[in-house]
Amino acid sequence: MSTLLLTRSDVIRHIEALTLLSEMRDAFRADAGHRPAEPQRARAPLHGEGSAWAMFPGTLPGIPAYTVKVHARFPGRTPAIQGVVQLHDLETGALLAVMDSGHLTALSTGVVGALASDVLARQDAARVALIGAGPQASMQLKSLRLVRSLSHVRVHDVDLPRAVEFAARMYQSLQLPVRPAESVEEAVEDADIVITSTPSREPFLFPGMVRGGTHIVTLGADEPGKAELSAGLLRQSTFFCDHRALNVAMGAPAGVGLGEEVIHAELGEVLAGTKQGRTDAGQVTLFGAVGLPFQDLVAAWHVYQGARTDDSVQRVDFGA
């Protein structure tokens, strides 16, 4: 049997954000109704500069495959995360495809952030604050444009020139007013949606900094101890997550011990209609995500459907 070997370029060519958004919406609903296997995340430090990660199994009712993702995370390098997603046949275990995980993970994470904002942010939310000006901030903003008409964006980064460059690049790419902010306070002062994508281990969002009605998105517990929100702000917000047990285990998004009692609902429960989302315009809502293996499956299966008939994609028989 031949296995597809998909490079980053192959993945980009065969993935479409708007379609993936719809597929991810259906996937969260399906996961809320029936979870075939509990997601597992494993991390092993290698040395002071890097760690090895694995996320598995990506399973979902209706998709006859599962995924295992393996990542090397080296924060001092660019890109900081490198790895592959393996797509296996669910019945036989046959290896259907091995694909670069960089763009696939970034886009699926962006789509999940946009999906959460679509159902939890106020319908008139149009002003965005980005804290962190890395690649994920770019993907979050582009994905958010799929569900919201935005009026302006402020971006803050501890490296101000990076924020300036990001603002100029996003303005050119999206034709949207984007300007750098010199502080977190300046960035969030009039924001309707706040998106954080930093490696911070110290909280920088506190009670009183965001307005009533704000929606906050924090994505990815990349390393143990990551903290972007204070415990006080977390407890004053209505907290939604992607997976209760993993959010509690990883301390996301405040980097402190928290119990399931602070979690109002999982995103899938809101999408499935079994739990309520935002209830009033003045409520501060918070979506904290650690990232789930079934998201890898949805994105990988999406790519595989197009790539399997693409004669330019490389194939190899590992059993030869």
In order of 7, 197, 213, 279, 319, the CA distances from 285 in angstroms are 38, 17, 7, 10, 50
Query: Given phi > 0 = left and psi -120 to 50 = alpha, else beta, which region is 207?
Result: beta
Rounded Cα distance, 165 and 169, in Å:
6
> What is residue 236's DSSP assignment?
H
257's enclosing H/E stretch is none
What distance lies between CA 224 and its chain's CA centroid?
A: 17
Three-point CA angle 103, 79, 74, nearest 5° = 120
Residue 214: count other Cβ atoms within 10 Å of its Cβ: 25
Determine how many CB atoms are found less than 10 A away from the CB of residue 158. Answer: 13
State how far the Cα of 188 lies from the Cα of 168, in Å rounded to an integer: 19
What are the chain's domains?
Answer: 3-105+294-316 (3.30.1780.10), 121-292 (3.40.50.720)
Q: Give me 272's structure tokens.
A: 């499935």
For the segment 176-187, what is each residue's pLDDT rounded down to a tens digit?
A: 999 999 999 999
- H or E segment and range at residue 304: helix 293-307
Sign, Cα dihedral of 205, 207, 212, 218? positive
pLDDT for position 319:
86
pLDDT along the chain (320 residues), means of 10: 96 97 97 90 88 96 97 85 96 98 95 98 98 94 96 97 97 96 98 94 93 92 76 91 86 66 94 97 95 96 97 94
Please give the pLDDT value at position 221: 63
CB 106 within 8 A of CB 16: no
Q: What is the pLDDT of residue 220?
A: 66
In DSSP notation, 147-210 reads T----EEEEE-SSHHHHHHHHHHHHHHH---EEE-SSHHHHHTT-SEEEE----SS--B-TTSS
For position 222, what pLDDT does the model report?
A: 61
> Could you give the angle at the alpha carbon of 65 between the alpha carbons of 61 and 68, nearest 5°?
110
